[in-house]
């Protein structure tokens, strides 16, 4: 009897202590309490209190998220860095979690990560029934087709009687069949379980075309023996808008991720880069002054530092810089901007006004 | 009935003496036309494969992905300025290994036999010649020297004080927590990270609290209230007061010193793989033995629990247990209360392996003849002593190959954590191989980590064979 009592007593006291926080704990988080943003219960407050952002990434997609020189890099990673820079003025205050495609939404729902920047296509079901909230698209991908330049194939119709390598069980395969049936082209799909095998077969010449997401085709092309002999067709077979996302029903946090992303777009439109953004506080243009937080209360109204946009751009660069560094001319991929150009240059990158 | 002849078996004409490689190969490889063809065909195939492999490894392959990221392969994204802490951990482990070796081999006339010296020399030469390890050669050689010195010291200690062997296990246990603290850092007297919480809060604070609460409840009694309630209340008061004092005192005194905190999120690579595997092995072994004994127990609840546990866990794939730990537990427990990801991974591996290990141990238990425990009982040993001293040692000895097989597969199963997002050796390789600089070099990366896995698995298997032969009492 006595022993049991003490066992119960000990476990009760353990439970009572489990909830206590460390007295001398890390208190570097700058608590920027919003005036009326209602961030008390928001993930935003959690992140600010913690003093670092936990960002779910893939970790294994060339150009988007990978490790180089002992650091995470890539377009998705830079999105995480921008949010951390906006909140903490320090792009290194991010913890990355590698998530695979099956667990990414669960990890967000369970609160293991604050946001996802993990090559996730914005679809209606993910936005509604899965319960996600999609921030602006940071990369408009689409299914493309890689062919040998010497083969003379310039459009999908030229595949009459030829074969295409494709990964099996993907939407890619279904899209390909749909497109070809629409065009009435008779072709042979060669399906592979594994991407490496599919590209190896394509390189060995067992099929005339190789289809996958364009960004992946470009990344893979650079690993082929003679990359210059291969070209991407102009055609786009599906829409794959990729962007960061947060959990549903948390407006303050969603707004944070959304407007930090827009800030990257808007900075490019304003011509603000990581090099000149700090000088912009002295700009004559009231729009720019508002944007960098030298005027108005755009940031503090959201519960963020007023100069959140300046911080993000200063540390990570504007969207154009991020793109060029990871996928464009500054990278091995040399992927043209295409749909990812600013709206003023014929692309889809468009930020609502900052005012 | 068999009859045994005392005379040697009659032999025919003496055989042609077959010594030397030519005779050997004639006997084993070319003893008939069919075998000759087989030998030639297989030899050519293997030769071609080996030639292709070597020409790939030395001419085509671009090993820069491994060379440039060697530190990341070894320790993930651990901050390079704190690499000395990982070296210290390696030093502690090697020093203790040396001590253990010396203590166990205290009765050997010569510790460093010719073979051992050749082995150590070969390893040292490998460290010097292999381009990847060359930058770290001084450290690695230092660690080897430490091993040798510790072994000599261990033998000397063991000869002077043979009783010191029983401290080996305790030393390893303490070193485990020291190593954890070195890896994790953080304020020494605080909670915060994994290691100090184990080191200080659990051992000192909980221990102090429990002792104080116990003493208080024993010494003071409050009249008018039933004794057991007053005892519980007094225990709680004593516990909480002492716990809180022990917790806050270091901060009040300004003692919040310690190594820089490195969150488990930055642990990775081979270091994390080994930490996961060693922790999992160390925890699943006792759990597995207890479950095996429980399954053979005559107590119905214990037996039912063991059977249910074993059958339930063996019916679930490991990946789903790990997935649950990494993704589903956070759905139930809010942030701040939930255990660290690495802890969850270790728990998952332990839960899974314990069930399999229990069955391996049970197989060993069943191999021990009933006569053994009957004999023990007739000598007057009670049930626990019979199990601990007579049955279990024999059962474990029989089960060594199966147990080590389970350990090896646990070591390899740590790769599954790469899928659920821990950057252990496989996970960090995937991250590194996605880098545009090394795009397409995945063969090199995977061959490299395959070699690492092989070295460790083979070492375990070799160790188990040594233990088996050392414990083999049948042929003495």
Residue B334 · residue A111 · CB < 8 Å: yes
Residues of A within 8 A of B190 (CB-CB) are 22, 24-25
CB contact under 8 A, A98 and B431: yes
Nearest CA in chain A to B233: A9
Tens digits of residue pLDDT in B162-180: 888 888 988 998 898 888 8
Across chain B, what does the average pLDDT equal?
86
Name the percent of chain B lying above pLDDT 70: 90
What's residue A301's pLDDT?
A: 92
| Residue of B187, B427, B435, B442 for testing the chain A interface, max A β-carbons within 10 Å | B435
* pTM of structure: 0.83
Out of B7-21, B91-105, B219-233, which region has the weakest mean confidence (pLDDT)? Answer: B7-21
In which element (H, E) is residue A210 found? strand A209-213
Q: Report yes or no: A97 at the B interface, CB cutoff 8 Å.
A: yes
Mean pLDDT, residues B419-437: 89
Of residues A6, A21, A67, nearest to B435 (C-beta): A67
Q: Report yes or no: A215 at the B interface, CB cutoff 8 Å.
A: no
- The full set of domains in chain A, from first to last, is 43-138+243-345 (3.40.190.10), 142-239 (3.40.190.10)
Tens digits of residue pLDDT in B256-293: 667 788 888 899 999 999 999 999 999 999 999 999 99
What's residue A355's pLDDT?
A: 87
What's residue A131's pLDDT?
A: 93
Angstrom distance (rounded) from CA B340 to CA B94: 28
Residue A241 DSSP SS3: strand
pLDDT surpasses 60 at B67: yes
Tens digits of residue pLDDT in A78-118: 999 999 999 999 999 999 999 887 788 988 998 889 999 99
Confidence of residue B203 (pLDDT cuts 50, 70, 90): low
What's residue B17's pLDDT?
A: 60
Residues of A within 8 A of B418 (CB-CB) are 98
In which element (H, E) is residue A232 found? strand A230-232
Among candidate residues B178, B203, B338, the one with its CA nearest the CA of residue B259: B178
Residues of B within 8 A of A63 (CB-CB) are 436
- The number of C-beta contacts closer than 8 angstroms across A and B is 148
Angstrom distance (rounded) from CA B466 to CA B17: 34
CB contact under 8 A, B435 and A332: no
- List chain A residues with pLDDT less than 50: 1, 12-37
Angstrom distance (rounded) from CA A238 to CA A123: 12
What's residue B475's pLDDT?
A: 54
pLDDT surpasses 50 at B248: yes
Angstrom distance (rounded) from CA B229 to CA B232: 5
Q: Is A208 exposed, middle or buried (0-12, 13-18, 19+ CB in 10 A)?
A: buried
Residue A78 · residue A326 · CB < 8 Å: yes
Query: Would you give the distance in Å from CA B135 to the centre of its chain?
Result: 28
Of residues A13, A98, A110, nearest to B327 (C-beta): A110
Confidence of residue B42 (pLDDT cuts 50, 70, 90): very high
Residues of A within 8 A of B226 (CB-CB) are none
Distance in Å, alpha carbon of A312 to nearest chain B alpha carbon: 24
ipTM of this predicted structure: 0.81
Question: How far are the Cα atoms of A96, A311, B73, B182, B319 from residue A254, in angstroms, in the given order?
Answer: 19, 18, 36, 38, 32
Q: Report yes or no: A328 at the B interface, CB cutoff 8 Å.
A: no
């Amino acid at each position: 009897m006595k022993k049991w009592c003490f066992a119960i007593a000990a476990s009760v006291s353990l439970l009572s202590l489990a909830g206590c926080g460390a007295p001398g704990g890390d208190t570097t988080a700058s608590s920027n309490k919003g005036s009326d943003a209602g961030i008390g219960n928001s993930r935003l407050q959690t992140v600010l209190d913690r003093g670092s952002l936990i960002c779910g990434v893939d970790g294994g997609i060339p150009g988007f998220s990978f490790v180089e020189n002992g650091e995470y890099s890539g377009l998705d990673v830079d999105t995480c860095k921008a949010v951390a820079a906006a909140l903490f003025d320090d792009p290194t205050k991010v913890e990355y979690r590698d998530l695979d495609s099956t667990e990414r939404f669960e990890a967000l729902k369970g609160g293991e990560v604050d946001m996802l920047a993990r090559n996730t296509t914005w679809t209606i079901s993910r936005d509604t029934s899965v319960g996600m909230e999609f921030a602006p698209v940071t990369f408009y991908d689409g299914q493309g087709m890689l062919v040998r330049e010497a083969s003379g194939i310039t459009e999908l119709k030229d595949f009459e009687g030829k074969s295409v390598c494709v990964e099996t069980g993907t939407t890619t395969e279904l899209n390909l069949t749909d497109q070809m049936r629409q065009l009435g082209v008779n072709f042979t799909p060669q399906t592979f379980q594994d991407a490496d095998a599919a590209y190896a077969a394509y390189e060995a010449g067992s099929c005339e075309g190789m289809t996958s997401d364009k960004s992946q085709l470009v990344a893979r092309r650079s690993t082929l023996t003679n990359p210059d002999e291969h070209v991407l067709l102009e055609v786009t077979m599906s829409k794959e808008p990729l962007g960061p996302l947060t959990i549903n029903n948390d407006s303050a946090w969603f707004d944070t991720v959304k407007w930090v992303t827009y800030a990257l777009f808007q900075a490019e439109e304003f011509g603000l880069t990581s090099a000149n953004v700090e000088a912009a506080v002295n700009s004559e243009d009231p729009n720019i002054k508002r944007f960098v937080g030298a005027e108005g209360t755009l940031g503090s109204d959201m519960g963020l530092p007023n100069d959140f946009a300046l911080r993000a751009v200063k540390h990570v660069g504007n969207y154009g810089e991020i793109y060029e560094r990871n996928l464009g001319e500054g990278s091995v991929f040399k992927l043209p901007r295409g749909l990812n150009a600013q709206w003023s240059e014929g692309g889809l990158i468009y930020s609502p006004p900052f005012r | 009935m068999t009859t045994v002849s005392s005379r040697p078996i009659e032999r025919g004409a003496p055989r042609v003496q077959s010594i030397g490689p030519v005779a050997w190969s004639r006997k084993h490889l070319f003893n008939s036309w069919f075998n000759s063809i087989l030998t030639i065909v297989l030899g050519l195939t293997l030769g071609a494969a080996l030639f292709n492999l070597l020409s790939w490894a030395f001419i085509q392959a671009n090993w820069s992905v491994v060379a440039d990221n060697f530190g990341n392969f070894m320790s993930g994204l651990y901050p390079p300025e704190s690499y000395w802490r990982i070296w210290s951990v390696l030093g502690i482990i090697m020093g203790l290994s040396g001590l253990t070796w010396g203590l166990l081999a205290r009765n050997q006339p010569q510790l460093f036999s010719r073979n051992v010296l050749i082995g150590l020399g070969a390893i040292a030469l490998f460290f010097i010649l292999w381009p990847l390890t060359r930058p770290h050669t001084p450290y690695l050689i230092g660690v080897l020297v430490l091993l040798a010195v510790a072994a000599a010291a261990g033998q000397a200690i063991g000869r002077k004080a043979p009783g010191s062997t029983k401290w080996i296990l305790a030393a390893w246990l303490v070193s485990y927590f020291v190593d954890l603290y070195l890896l994790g850092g953080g304020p020494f007297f605080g909670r915060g990270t994994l290691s100090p919480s184990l080191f200080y809060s659990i051992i000192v604070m909980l221990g102090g609290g429990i002792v104080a609460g116990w003493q208080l409840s024993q010494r003071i009694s409050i009249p008018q209230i039933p004794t057991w309630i007053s005892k519980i209340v007094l225990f709680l008061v004593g516990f909480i007061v002492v716990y809180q004092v022990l917790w806050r005192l270091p901060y009040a005194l300004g003692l919040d010193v310690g190594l820089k905190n490195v969150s488990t999120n930055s642990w990775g690579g081979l270091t994390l793989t080994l930490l996961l595997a060693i922790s999992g092995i160390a925890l699943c072994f006792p759990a597995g033995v207890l479950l095996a004994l429980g399954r053979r127990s005559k107590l119905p609840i214990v037996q039912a629990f063991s059977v249910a546990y074993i059958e339930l866990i063996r019916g679930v794939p490991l990946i789903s247990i790990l997935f649950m730990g990494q993704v589903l537990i956070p759905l139930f427990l809010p942030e701040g209360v939930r255990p660290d990801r690495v802890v969850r991974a270790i728990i998952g591996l332990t839960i899974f392996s314990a069930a399999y290990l229990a069955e391996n141990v049970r197989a060993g238990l069943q191999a021990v003849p009933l006569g053994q425990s009957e004999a023990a009982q007739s000598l007057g040993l009670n049930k626990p002593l019979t199990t601990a001293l007579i049955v279990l040692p024999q059962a474990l000895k029989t089960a060594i190959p199966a147990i080590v097989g389970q350990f090896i597969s646990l070591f390899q199963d740590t790769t599954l954590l790469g899928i659920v997002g821990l950057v252990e050796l496989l996970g960090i390789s995937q991250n590194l191989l996605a880098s545009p600089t090394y795009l397409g070099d995945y063969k090199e990366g995977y061959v490299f980590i395959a070699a690492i896995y092989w070295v460790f698995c083979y070492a375990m298997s070799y160790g188990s064979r040594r233990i088996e032969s050392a414990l083999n009492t049948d042929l003495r």
